[in-house]
Chains A and B, each alone.
Chain A
Amino acid sequence: MPSDANTAPANAAATRHTFEFTGTAGEMWPIVLKNLLLNIITLSFYRFWGRTNVRRYLWSNVRFMGDPLEYTGRGGELFVGFLIVTVVVFLPLVGLLTWAQALMARGEPFGFILFSAGYLLLLWLAPLGLYRAFKYRMSRTRWRGVRGAQTESGVRYATEFFFYTILTVFTAGLLLPFMEAKLYTQETNNRRFGTGRFSFSGSSGPLYSAFLISYALVVGGYVLVFVIAGNLAKLGFVAILGLYLFLGLAFAIYELAKLKHFWNSTKFEGAEFVFNGEIGELIKLYLGNILLTLVTLGIAYPIAQMRVVRFMTEHLVLVGQINLAAVTQSTEAEPGFGEGLAEGFDMGTI
C-alpha cells in the first residue's frame, strides 16, 4: 500500500514543501493568440516556437519552495528535432509502407508481412518518442539553476510498452493498470533532478479496485447504448457526445486512483510526494477543459493545459527533509534537439 503523510517525520508541518502556480488565463491568452496568428501566417511552422512560448510561461509560473522553474528549451531545437526525425524515421517508413502496399497489390504475401512489420514498428516508435520527449523536457527544466534529467535512451521503455500493449489488447484491456504501473516505475526511477533521484515503490495492485469500477462502467455504458439504440450510428451527435463524456468521467475514477497511488508512492531523495485531490475536483477539471477546448475549437488548449498544471500544483506536496546542499548539478548529457518523434505521433503537445 502507498505510504502517506503519516509516515513522514513528526515535524511534517515544517518540512511540507508546497508547489504554487502564479499564472493567469489573462496572461496566457495574449501568448495563445500571438501563437495562433503566427501559426496561420507561417502555415503552422511557428508551432515549435509557439509551444516553447507556452511552456516558458507555464514553467516560470510554477513555484516550488517559493522559487520558480525555468524552461530553457528553444523553438529551434524542436524544429530541428522535427526535421531530423522526418528525414531519418518517417520518410523511410513511409517508403517502406508504400512499397509494402505495392507488393500487396500484386498479391505477394511478403507485402503483407512487410506492412504488418511497419505498423508494429510504429507501435514501438510511438512510446520511444514519448520517452524522448520526457528526456528533452526534463533536461530543459531548471530549478535554482539545477536541471532535471531522464536517464536511459528510452529503448527499454519502448520495448516494454510494445509488449505490454500487445498483452493488454489480448486481455481485453484488463492488464492496463499493470502496464501503466510498470511503465510509470521505469519512468520515475529514471528521473533525476540534478543528482537527486526520484523513486517509485508502488505496484498495480492498489489500482485494480478503481480500475474495475471504471471498466465496468465503460462496458456497461456501451452495452446500455447498444441495447437502447441498437447501434451508435442511430444516436444523435449530442447523445454520442454525452456517451463519450460519460466514458471519460467513468475513467476519472481510475485516473484519480492512479494519481493518488502513483504520487503517494513516489519519493525524491527521501522526501515523499502526497497527492490530495478528490474525484469532484478532477471531474470539474476534465469537464472544464473539454468545454474550453470544444467551444474554442482547440485554440484554448494551452489554457486547458494551464488548468492541469494549476490543479497539480494545488494538490501536490513534497513531505520530508531534503538535503539541498547535497543535490548537485546533473551530469547527464543534455539532448541537443527535441521531441521530433513525439511530434510525428502528435504527442509533443504540452
Chain B
Amino acid sequence: MRLNARYFDGSNLEGQTVDLDLSPSLAVIRPVAGRGVLPAIPSSKLFEIHRSADGNRVDLGVADNHDIHLMVEGAGVAAYIDTALPALGVEAAAQKRHASVRLLAIAGGVLAVLVIAFLQLERLVPVLVPLESERALGERLMEGFVESSDAVCTNQVGRAALTRMVNRLSPEGTLPIPLTVWVTKSDWVNAFAMPGGQIVIFDGLIQKAQSPDEVAGVLAHEMGHVEHRHALRRLVRAAGIGFLASMVSGGVVGDVSQQLLVMTFSREMEEEADTAALKTLASAGIASDGFAAFFERLAAEDNESDPESLLAGSTLESLLATHPLSKERANKIRSQPPLQSISPALDETAWQALKGICSPQQAKMDDS
C-alpha cells in the first residue's frame, strides 16, 4: 500500500508531497512531483510524534535526524502503520538506551565525586577558618545564649572550683583556643562544645555525677571536641549536606538525609574526642575510670527503664544520644594503662562547691 504523505527535511517550511512505501525494514520515499529520489529511512529509526484520535493521521519523526518530519494522512493510516511497522515506538527507545546508560554512568560518577567533595569540605575548616574567626563566632553565638537564659550559674565558689578543674585539665597553652566553660541551671544530663572554645555543661550532669573524676572525664571529652574544632566542622558539614540534599531532591528528602549523615559522621568525631580526652586525663593525672563509669551507669539506668524515673530516663537519653556508648568505646576507655600517680580531679571541698555552682551566692552578693 502506498501512503500519501507530506515530507519535510528542515530545508524550508513548505515541504513536498510524497508517496511513502513502508516495510518493516525500510521507508521508501518518492516525491509525487517526480524529481529525483529522496533518501530511504530505516524503519527502525522511525518513531511516532503524534497520531490523531480518529486514526486518520500519523506524524512520524526520525530518531537521529529531527530535520525530517513525515505527515501521513488518509483513512485508517494509523491502523495500517501499526501492521506495517509493529516495532514503531513513541520514541526510538533502543536508539537512545545506549547513550542514556553512558550518560547515567558519567552523571553518577560526577555526583559521587560531588558528594565526597562535600563531605570532605569540613576537613578544610582548620586550614581555611582562622582561630580568631571561630572564636568570634563562638562568642557571638554564646552572647545570644547567655542573654536569652537567666539560667547561667554564677556561684563564685562553684565557679572557682570549676576553673580549678579546667586549669588542671588544660594548663595554659595546651589548647589552640582559650576555653570558656559555662554551667547552666537545667536537669539535662548533657554537655556540649560550641565553636570557638565555648563549652556548656548542664547542672543535671554535675548532679548526676558521683565523683569529680566523672565530670572531669566529660569535660576532657568536650575539650577534645574543641581541640579538633568539631563544632565548626559539624556546622560546615550540615550546611554542605543540606545544600547538596536540597539541590538533589528539590527539598523533599533534604531534612532526612541531612539528619542521617550528620548523625553517622559525628561518631567519628566522638572517637576523636575520646582519644583526646584520655590523653588530657593522663597528663592531668586523673584516672579515666570515672569517665567510663559515668557513661556505663547512664547506659545501665537507661536500660532499666524504671517506670518511676520516666522523666529521668528521658533526660538521660540526651547524653547517650549524642554520645552513644558502643562496646568499643567503653573498652577503649577501660583499657587505658594505669597511671603512675593519680589524684581525684577535685578535693572534697571543691567538689562540693562545684555541686553547688547553681545555688545562690552564700557570701556577699556583689554582682551577678
Contacts and interface: CB of A to CB of B under 8 A. Distances in A.
Q: Is the interface of A mostly helix, strand, loop or mixed?
A: mixed
A98 B68 CA distance: 50
B107 A325 contact: no
Interface string B91-121: 1000010011001100100110010000000
B11 interface: yes
Given A43-B248, A68-B50, A324-B14, A145 B103 contact: no
B12 A76 contact: no
Contacts of A322: 13
17 contacts: A22-B52, A44-B250, A72-B66, A76-B99, A79-B107, A86-B247, A87-B110, A103-B133, A144-B10, A144-B15, A144-B69, A324-B14, A326-B12, A327-B12, A328-B11, A344-B247, A346-B250
A70 interface: yes
A105 interface: yes
A145 B49 contact: no
A142 B69 contact: yes
Top 7 closest pairs, chain A to chain B, by CB: A145-B10, A145-B8, A324-B13, A144-B8, A60-B50, A324-B14, A325-B14
A234 interface: no
A278 interface: no
B50 A325 contact: no
Contacts of B61: 70
Interface string A13-38: 00000000010000000000000000
Interface in B79-94: 91
Nearest to B73: A66
Interface in A59-90: 60-61, 67-68, 70, 72, 74, 76, 79-80, 83, 86-87, 90
Nearest to B240: A94
Given A70-B69, A102-B133, A145-B67, A76 B100 contact: yes
B342 interface: no
Nearest to B9: A145
Contacts of B53: 22
A146 interface: yes
Choose among B96, B236, B247 the residue with the greatest number of A CB atoms under 10 Å from its CB. Answer: B247
Nearest to B113: A87
Given A22-B52, A83-B111, A102 B69 contact: no
A299 to B, nearest CB: 13
B132 A83 contact: no
Choose among A86, A107, A324, A327 the residue with the greatest number of B CB atoms under 10 Å from its CB. Answer: A86
Contacts of A83: 107, 110-111, 114
A327 B9 CA distance: 12
Contacts of B250: 44, 47, 346
B66 to A, nearest CB: 5
Contacts of B38: none
Contacts of B13: 143-144, 146, 194, 196, 322, 324-325, 327
Contact of B137 (A70, A102, A147): A102
B311 interface: no
Given A44-B253, A83-B107, A144-B15, 7 more contacts: A43-B248, A76-B107, A83-B111, A105-B136, A105-B140, A144-B10, A327-B13
A171 to B, nearest CB: 34
A265 B252 CA distance: 42
Interface string B157-197: 00000000000000000000000000000000000000000
B279 to A, nearest CB: 30
Interface string B31-52: 0000000000000000001101
B249 interface: yes
Given A83-B111, A144-B15, A328-B11, A44 B69 contact: no
B273 interface: no
Given A83-B107, A83-B111, A105 B10 contact: no
Contacts of B59: 60, 67-68
A329 B11 contact: yes
A86 B137 contact: no
B239 interface: yes
A3 B99 CA distance: 48
Contacts of B96: 74
A324 B12 contact: yes
B71 interface: yes
Contacts of B11: 328-329
B49 A70 contact: yes
Contacts of A144: 8, 10, 13, 15, 69
Interface string B229-252: 000000010010001000111101
B129 interface: yes
B250 to A, nearest CB: 5
A219 B159 CA distance: 59
Nearest to A23: B50
Interface in B130-154: 132-133, 136-137, 140
A107 B136 contact: yes
B248 A147 contact: no
Choose among B13, B66, B249 the residue with the greatest number of A CB atoms under 10 Å from its CB. Answer: B13
Interface string A127-152: 00000000000000011111100000
B301 to A, nearest CB: 39
B160 to A, nearest CB: 32
Contacts of B249: 43-44
A76 B53 CA distance: 30
Interface string B293-329: 0000000000000000000000000000000000000
Choose among A68, A103, A196 the residue with the greatest number of B CB atoms under 10 Å from its CB. Answer: A68
Interface in B48-79: 49-50, 52-53, 59, 61, 66-69, 71
